[in-house]
């Protein structure tokens, strides 16, 4: 059966997360229902990562097996037609090898987290950022973030319900920047690693927000990491500011000539 890679963009607000749910809407369920409109099912797609309820996707990647050898552009167009009006879009499609896997072939995942710094409520960005009504010291936050980069036991920043076999991961990058946007200043976190623990990025951000607010010193982040104790973590940032921003593969399936 032909296998296709799909690059997926979505607003996670209306969904209970990526993973198919028996009684709640999910992004996976919406795409599988759209596939069933093209070919008889059941369909089961696999994704590079399972985002939680309220978390968004800028460039999630999934794969599916179909009976027909679709032209990638026509496949993405047909799926987008059947996905309406859900806030889910197939922004790229590509034919891949039968043993290619959206999760296991990936070598890096990239996340973005957005904090809007203003006292007024978010209107146009409602549900898309974490609004914090105070200034944050971005330099101090970066100094705190630097303690997290590298190969560590991240038990402190791991959800108690995380199912990963080990808390030991390698964090390749955690960059904090201040951006002046139309809506006001934003603090953005750019995070890269091969794989992540459950709630790891949101735990990082919630902890670093405490540093930016002056409640923690940058070196306190290193102390919390070394504790290997979930109780040492700062608050977990809310899901609406988090985006799966990209997935990297040894050979990009969405290269030149593919549907985008």
List, by residue number, the catalytic residues: 52
Distance (Å) of CA 90 to CA 21, 61, 96, 116: 20, 10, 16, 28
Element (H, E) at 30: helix 27-38
CB 29 within 8 A of CB 224: no
Look at residues 92, 109, 89 and name the one whose alpha carbon lies nearest to residue 11: 89
The neighbour count for residue 28, using CB atoms within 10 Å, is 23
Beta bridge partners of 177: 188
CA distance 169 to 152: 6
What is the pairing mode between strands 184-193 and 168-181? Answer: antiparallel
Q: Which two tokens stand for residue 175?
A: 């960059």
Query: 198: which 2 tokens?
Result: 């459950």
Residues paired with 158 in a beta bridge = none
Are 90 and 76 a contacting pair, CB within 8 Å?
yes
């Amino acid at each position: 059966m032909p296998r296709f890679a799909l690059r997926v963009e979505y607003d996670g607000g209306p969904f209970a997360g990526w993973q198919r749910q028996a009684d709640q809407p999910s992004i996976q369920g919406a795409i599988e229902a759209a596939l069933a409109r093209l070919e008889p099912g059941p369909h089961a797609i696999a994704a590079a990562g399972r985002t939680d309820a309220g978390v968004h996707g800028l460039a999630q990647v999934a794969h599916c097996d179909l009976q027909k050898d679709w032209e990638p552009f026509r496949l993405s167009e047909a799926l987008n037609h059947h996905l309406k009006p859900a806030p889910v879009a197939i922004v790229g499609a590509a034919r891949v090898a039968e043993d290619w896997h959206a999760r296991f072939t990936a070598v890096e995942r990239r996340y973005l987290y957005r904090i809007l710094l203003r006292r007024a409520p978010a209107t146009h960005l409602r549900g898309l950022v974490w609004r914090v009504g105070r200034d944050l010291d971005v330099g101090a936050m970066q100094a705190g973030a630097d303690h997290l980069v590298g190969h560590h036991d991240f038990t402190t920043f791991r959800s108690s319900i995380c199912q990963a076999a080990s808390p030991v991961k390698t964090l390749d990058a955690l960059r904090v920047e201040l951006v002046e946007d139309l809506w006001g200043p934003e603090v953005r976190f750019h995070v890269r690693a091969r794989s992540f623990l459950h709630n790891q990025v949101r735990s990082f951000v919630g902890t670093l927000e405490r540093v930016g607010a002056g409640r923690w010193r940058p070196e306190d982040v290193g102390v919390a990491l070394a504790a290997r104790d979930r109780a040492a973590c700062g608050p977990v940032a809310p899901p609406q500011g988090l985006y799966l921003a990209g997935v990297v593969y040894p050979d990009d399936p969405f290269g030149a000539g593919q549907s985008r």
